[in-house]
Amino acid sequence: MADSKETAFQQDIINALAAQGWLVGTSANYNPTTALYTEDLLAYFQTAWPD
């Protein structure tokens, strides 16, 4: 029972962040070694410094 409440709570947090413009990634694209989504980091640098 507690697990289903925790899952719903986590989804509520994700939905609230997404509603404010946060990007929602998948765990498959998360790099635990660097604690980053590599494609998001690369996109940030390419946008900030296009040269």
Please report the pLDDT score of residue 1 as a whole number. Answer: 55
The SS3 assignment for 25 reads: coil
Q: Is 22 left (phi over 0), alpha (psi -120 to 50) or beta?
A: beta
pLDDT for 25 equals 83
Sequence length of the chain is 51
Cβ atoms of 40 and 25 closer than 8 Å: yes
Contact (Cβ atoms closer than 8 angstroms) between residue 20 and residue 32:
no
The structure's pTM equals 0.58
Element (H, E) at 43: helix 38-48
Show the low-confidence residues of the chain (pLDDT under 50).
none
